[in-house]
Structure 1
Amino acid sequence: MTMDSSERPEADQPSRPQNPRAYYQPILALDTRIVTGYEVLGRDCGASGARSLGAYFSHPGVSEKAKRELDAFIREQAVREHGRLGRTEKLFINLQPGWLSGGSSGSVDSSVLPMLKLLEQCKVDPSLICIEVTEEDFDGEIECLVGAVREFRRAGCSIAVDDVGSQFSNLDRIAHIQPDMLKVDMNMVSRSAHHEGFHGVLRSLSAIADGIGASLLMEGVETRQDLQRAISAGARYVQGYLFSGAEAAFGSRDRYKRLLDSELLDTKRKQAGEESGRWRQAEELAREAERLLRDSGGEGGEEAFLAPLLRKLDAGCMRAYLCRSDGIQLSANYQRTEGGWIREEHYRGSDWSWRPYFVYSSVELLSGRRFAISRPYTDLDRGGRVRTVSVPAGPDMFLLVDVREDELG
């Protein structure tokens, strides 16, 4: 990639770069904890240091021809250096969709073949190249873009979609390209910590990646808190100034291993502690349900079972009800309010088998498990993240308790 996503174009016409060079920002894999690749970025190197080329590439006054020529120059420099040194890390190279699809010519050959020939000349294995397609406005033929991607993939390159979620993401394009990787800016992850809307979008991106078999790369990781959020969001790869900015040369692959080992261990301990707390709470709920069943002898219906149970539920428990194993609700909803529990009869007879967690939970309970805990989801009535704890409550009957995620455990 020859342009930092964080850079903005300058107001004045930028001067033509005098000494453009390829710089490299490391990308780390959380599974191996080593540098797995480098994103190629452009810098203009002079007496005052290395200056980003973001303003030049973004400026509307610079012709597309000039941008393409400079981009190709930096790209060639990076590939030649990679081949000369015999590096085994991946090179992440950004190509705009308009360029990748051949622009106005519509010719795939005009963008793909020179790149593949360069790899051959420099004896660089195409499997060490990841082509990043940016999430920019694109009004070209999607067939040309897909054709170019297909040629790169056929040669052995991997494909990433860059800046996912930074604008109105083109899900249609992602579906057509079927990338190996989705790059998400940490700005999305940081906002998700305080804004339910961004949290929901981030979960959706994670689900999309999982659904198409792609890995998540979180870029813009600047603090340890960013790294922990990236890990919790399901990132496999991370990139950002916490580790390094763009540098003029490749570095040691394991130079950040100690940092990653430490943060992964802290995150695992935190998550394990939270999950253990959830299991303890679910275990207590199961024991209480078993005691009530014994005391009532299965007689008295929902009142005999639920009424004493509600008095013992923690403050985080917001809803309780009884269902058959096929998902049909047998009782009213018992909903917690500021004034206490209220009874909502209109939910009786509802079918909850459509909920993603229900079938899995019912199979676990019917197989002899004492309880089941759903994955977190957003409550449709009250908003906020909840989990549903399910426990057996008699023959072909389950007790379901919805618990706020921040209170469970």
Structure 2
Amino acid sequence: MDALDILTNLNRCFPYFQPVFSADEHRVIGYEIFGRYNDNGQVISLGSFFQDKSIPDEYRLEVDNAVLTKAFELATELDKDVLLFVNRDADLLIHDSGEAFLQFLQQFQEKGISLKRIVLEISMDEPKDEMDHLLNYYRTFGIKIAIDKLGEGSSFLDQIGQLKPDIVKVDLMPLRSMNPPPAYKDILYSLSILARKIGATLLFKNIEMVYQLQFAWQHGARYYQGYYLEKPISNFITRDILKDKLKAEFHEFIIYEKKKLESVFQVTERFQTKIQEIINKNRKTMNFELLLKALGKELDQVALRMYICDEDGFQLSPNMLKKGIDWEMQPEYMRKNWSWRPYFLENMIRMRNDKKGLLSDLYCDIETGEITRTFSYPINAHEYLFIDLTYDFLYKNDTLL
């Protein structure tokens, strides 16, 4: 479609609205505004027009403002707490230090569109110092900031850390298959931790199937958007239209998650009992190597690696590593310190105070590359046993994966 046709027929440009739903209220909390064009009765997306850098900035802004004007005029009928998500290219914003966009928004305040309801969605290839200052300036007026479409050539975690947005959008397109890239979940986990640290809310978009909705819920999403919930449309919908559906589906997610947690608890209790029995049998010798060998006989199909540390994380025993059908002692690990590992000292204190073992979350073993969990057990107040579990064991107890 020719850009000139669009510019000379602004009356054919109009907004579409895609609802954003919340996990805490199970209702519509906002709408993202998209541009559409009526081409002789055929509705065409203006996305490619706005993203075309060969079109002069002022032309793209003119069309964008025409769409937003119609959108805001329609939005005056909405409840006063409904958010309006507005996309704007970062380069277009800093074109005039962001003043034109701010003035555009302010003209609708008298019509009931408070700036506190505006969520500015920005996308950019690289973070810019002037953008950081501009977004802080917008925040003084109550405008919320959302980061979307982060550049592939830069670290999105760096961008989020630098800009500290109110909302981080996560694209679930990579999860269209049931088997996303192995690092995908790890990246999302890191993102959820960072978002929590800076006080940002996660919004998962492009949710097209129920398992994507569950995935988003499991990974800390507060807001949800996608065709599975509602596609972009030309009008607004009843805010509670999916309330019963979302409540029912989230209830199923909760039941599933509680079963997984219960399974982890039961496995932890079984390990607690088993390890205690083995240690009691071998308490007279308490030679670390003999104790590990005794454990190896009992946990031959379960353990990948075992070792003992003191309360400061210094290794007191060799590693005992499973190699094929045999166990191999690795004395070179003696006196290595593991206190630098995340949550290591915190877990030591928990075990000492509770006098009970702990089962870690899933992680990838640095040396073998195998997915594992670690069971940690307090032998006494000063010595702690660590058992890395095999993937085969986790697979057979699939709720642990």
How many Å separate the matches in 2 of 1:314 and 1:35?
Answer: 53
How many Å separate the matches in 2 of 1:193 and 1:167?
Answer: 24
Aligned-pair CA distance for 1:131:
0.9
The 3 A distance-change label for structure 1 pair 87 and 193 is: farther
The answer to whether residue 136 in structure 2 is matched with residue 150 in structure 1 is yes
Q: Are the counterparts in 1 of residues 57 and 92 from structure 2 also a CA contact under 8 Å? A: no
SS of structure 2 residue aligned to 1:88: coil
Q: Which stretch shows the higher mean deviation, 386-395 or 310-319?
A: 310-319
Aligned-pair CA distance for 1:191:
6.8
The 3 A distance-change label for structure 1 pair 37 and 356 is: same
Tell me the amino acid that sits aligned with residue 153 of structure 1: R
Q: Identity of paired residues, percent?
A: 27
Partner residue, 1:371 = 357
Aligned-pair CA distance for 1:162:
0.9
Matches within 5 A, 1:254-265: 254-265=240-251
Q: Which stretch shows the higher mean deviation, 118-127 or 33-42?
A: 118-127
Q: Are the counterparts in 2 of residues 164 and 185 from structure 1 also a CA contact under 8 Å? A: no
Q: Are the counterparts in 2 of residues 378 and 385 from structure 1 also a CA contact under 8 Å? A: yes
Aligned-pair CA distance for 1:235:
1.4
Q: Are the counterparts in 1 of residues 125 and 152 from structure 2 also a CA contact under 8 Å? A: no
Q: Are the counterparts in 2 of residues 219 and 239 from structure 1 also a CA contact under 8 Å? A: yes
How many Å separate the matches in 1 of 2:270 and 2:300?
Answer: 11
The 3 A distance-change label for structure 1 pair 41 and 30 is: same
* Structure 2 residue corresponding to 1:118, chosen from 107, 116, 119: 107
SS of structure 1 residue aligned to 2:208: coil
Q: Are the counterparts in 1 of residues 35 and 67 from structure 2 also a CA contact under 8 Å? A: yes
Q: Are the counterparts in 2 of residues 164 and 182 from structure 1 also a CA contact under 8 Å? A: no
Partner residue, 2:145 = 159
* Structure 2 residue corresponding to 1:16, chosen from 6, 9, 22: 6
Q: Given the two structures, how large is their TM-score scaled by the length of structure 2?
A: 0.89
How many Å separate the matches in 2 of 1:130 and 1:228?
Answer: 25
**Structure 1: 5+ residue stretches without partners:** 1-9
The answer to whether residue 229 in structure 2 is matched with residue 243 in structure 1 is yes
Tell me the amino acid that sits aligned with residue 50 of structure 2: F
Tell me the amino acid that sits aligned with residue 283 of structure 2: G
Q: Given the two structures, how large is their TM-score scaled by the length of structure 1?
A: 0.88
The answer to whether residue 54 in structure 2 is matched with residue 74 in structure 1 is no
Deviations 1:264-294 (A, max 9, x none): 2222222222222222222111112211222
* Structure 2 residue corresponding to 1:266, chosen from 252, 268, 278: 252
Deviations 1:271-327 (A, max 9, x none): 222222222222111112211222223424123322222223274532211111111
Between the two proteins, the alignment pairs up a number of residues equal to 392
Q: Are the counterparts in 2 of residues 329 and 350 from structure 1 also a CA contact under 8 Å? A: yes
Partner residue, 2:308 = 322
Partner residue, 2:125 = 137
What's the C-alpha RMSD, in Å, of the aligned pairs? 2.4
Matches within 5 A, 1:60-99: 60-99=53-92
Q: Are the counterparts in 2 of residues 282 and 371 from structure 1 also a CA contact under 8 Å? A: yes
Q: Are the counterparts in 2 of residues 328 and 349 from structure 1 also a CA contact under 8 Å? A: yes
Partner residue, 1:177 = 163
The answer to whether residue 299 in structure 2 is matched with residue 310 in structure 1 is no
How many Å separate the matches in 1 of 2:251 and 2:53?
Answer: 47
SS of structure 2 residue aligned to 1:16: helix
SS of structure 2 residue aligned to 1:205: helix
The 3 A distance-change label for structure 1 pair 192 and 185 is: farther
How many Å separate the matches in 1 of 2:163 and 2:50?
Answer: 25
Q: Are the counterparts in 2 of residues 222 and 240 from structure 1 also a CA contact under 8 Å? A: yes
Matches within 5 A, 1:322-341: 322-341=308-327
* Structure 2 residue corresponding to 1:229, chosen from 209, 212, 215: 215
Aligned-pair CA distance for 1:207:
2.4
Partner residue, 1:26 = 19
Partner residue, 1:127 = 116
**Structure 2: 5+ residue stretches without partners:** none
Partner residue, 1:5 = none
Tell me the amino acid that sits aligned with residue 50 of structure 1: V
How many Å separate the matches in 2 of 1:198 and 1:14?
Answer: 41
Partner residue, 2:47 = 54
Aligned-pair CA distance for 1:73:
1.4
Q: Are the counterparts in 2 of residues 286 and 371 from structure 1 also a CA contact under 8 Å? A: yes
Q: Are the counterparts in 2 of residues 184 and 217 from structure 1 also a CA contact under 8 Å? A: yes
Tell me the amino acid that sits aligned with residue 376 of structure 2: S
Deviations 1:182-241 (A, max 9, x none): 101002445794322333322222222122221111110000111111112221111000
Q: Are the counterparts in 2 of residues 324 and 330 from structure 1 also a CA contact under 8 Å? A: yes
Partner residue, 2:181 = 195
Q: Are the counterparts in 1 of residues 205 and 225 from structure 2 also a CA contact under 8 Å? A: yes
Matches within 5 A, 1:275-314: 275-313=261-299
Aligned-pair CA distance for 1:26:
0.7
Q: Which stretch shows the higher mean deviation, 84-93 or 328-337?
A: 84-93
The 3 A distance-change label for structure 1 pair 305 and 190 is: farther
How many Å separate the matches in 1 of 2:318 and 2:151?
Answer: 41
How many Å separate the matches in 2 of 1:193 and 1:404?
Answer: 21
Q: Which stretch shows the higher mean deviation, 160-169 or 367-376?
A: 160-169
Aligned-pair CA distance for 1:80:
2.1
